[in-house]
Amino acid sequence: MNYDLAIIGGGPAGYTAAELAGKNGLRTVLFEKNNLGGVCLNEGCIPTKTLLYSAKVYQSAKDSAKYGVSCENVAFDLSKIIARKNKTVRKLVAGVRTKMTEAGVEAVNGNAIIQAKGEGEKAKDALSVECNGQVYTAEKLLLCTGSETVIPPIPGLKETGFWTHREALDNKEIPESLAIIGGGVIGVEFASFFNTLGSKVIVVEMLDEILPGMDKALSGFLRNELTKKGIEFHTGAKVTAVNQDKVEIEKNGEKQQIEASKILLSVGRKPVLSGFGLENLNLEIHKNGLKVNEYMQTSNPDVYACGDSTGFSLLAHTAVREAEVAVAHLLGKNEKMSYKAIPGVVYTNPEIAGVGETEETLQAKNIPYTVKQLPLTYSGRFVAENEQGNGVCKILENTDGTVQGVHIAGNPASELIVIAGIALEKGMKAEELKAIIFPHPTVGEIIKETL
Task: Look at residue 59 and tell me whether its pLDDT is greater than 70.
Answer: yes
Report the pLDDT value the prediction gives residue 389, as an integer from 0 to 100: 78
Does position 122 have pLDDT exceeding 70, yes or no?
A: no
> For the residues 37-62, what does the mean pLDDT come to?
95
Average pLDDT over residues 353-363: 97
Amino acid at residue number 443: V
Sheet of 254-259, strands arranged across: 237-243, 246-251, 254-259
**In the beta sheet, which residues pair with residue 134?**
131
- Give the per-residue pLDDT at 387: 87
Radius of gyration of the chain (CA): 23
Percent of the chain with pLDDT over 70: 98
Q: Are 387 and 66 in contact, with CB atoms under 8 Å apart?
A: yes
Q: What is the pLDDT of residue 364?
A: 97
Regarding the domain with residue range 344-450, which homologous superfamily does it belong to in the CATH classification? Answer: FAD/NAD-linked reductase, C-terminal dimerisation domain (3.30.390.30)
pLDDT value for 123:
44
Measured from the Cβ of residue 111, the count of other Cβ atoms closer than 10 Å reads 15
- Quote the pLDDT of residue 393: 98
In this structure, which CATH number among 3.10.20.90, 3.30.750.24, 2.60.120.260, 3.50.50.60 belongs to the domain 165-267?
A: 3.50.50.60
Distance from C-alpha of 410 to C-alpha of 390, rounded to nearest angstrom: 7
pLDDT tens profile 74-85: 999 999 999 999
CATH 3.50.50.60 in the chain, residue ranges? 2-148+270-330, 165-267
H helix runs in 331-451, sequence order: 359-364, 380-385, 413-425, 430-434, 445-450
State the average pLDDT over residues 95-123: 85
Contacts of residue 449, defined as CB under 8 A and 6 or more positions apart, other chains included, come to 374, 378, 379, 393
Residue extent(s) of CATH 3.30.390.30 domains in the chain: 344-450
Q: State the sign of the Cα–Cα–Cα–Cα dihedral 272, 278, 281, 284.
A: positive
Residue 121 has pLDDT above 90, yes or no: no
Helix%, strand%, coil% for the chain, nearest 5? 35, 25, 40
Active site residue 440: yes
Burial class (CB in 10 A: 0-12, 13-18, 19+), 404: buried
Quote the DSSP letter at residue 425.
H
pLDDT value of residue 41: 94
pLDDT tens digits along 385-435:
998 778 999 999 999 999 999 999 999 999 999 999 999 999 999 999 999
Closest of 93, 118, 97, 117 to residue 108, by C-alpha? 97
Q: Which CATH class is domain 2-148+270-330?
A: alpha beta
**151-164 pLDDT, tens digit each:** 999 999 989 989 99
Average pLDDT for 377-392: 92
Determine the Cα–Cα distance for residues 408 and 391; give it in Å rounded to an integer: 7
- Name the burial class of residue 212, with classes exposed (0-12), middle (13-18) and buried (19+) by CB atoms within 10 angstroms of its CB: middle
Q: Which residues lie closer than 8 Å to 17 by C-beta, 6 or more apart? A: 5, 7, 142, 144, 306, 323, 324, 326, 327
CB 272 within 8 A of CB 145: yes
One-letter amino acid for residue 230 of the chain:
G
Would you state the pLDDT for residue 125?
Answer: 61
Pick the catalytic residue from 234, 286, 407, 440: 440
Residue burial 26-61, b: 16+ Cβ < 10 Å; e: rest: bbbbbbbbebbbbbbbbbbbbbbbbbbbbbbebbee
Encode 358-386: b = buried (16+ Cβ within 10 Å), e = exposed: bbeebeeeeeebeeeebbbeebebbeeeb
The mean predicted confidence, pLDDT, of the chain is 95
What's at 317, amino acid-wise?
H
Averaged pLDDT for residues 113-118 = 80
Decide: 67 and 365 in contact? Cβ < 8 Å.
no
Is the per-residue pLDDT at 52 higher than 50?
Answer: yes
Q: State yes or no: pLDDT of 119 exceeds 80.
A: no
Confidence check: pLDDT of 344 > 80: yes
pTM of the model: 0.95
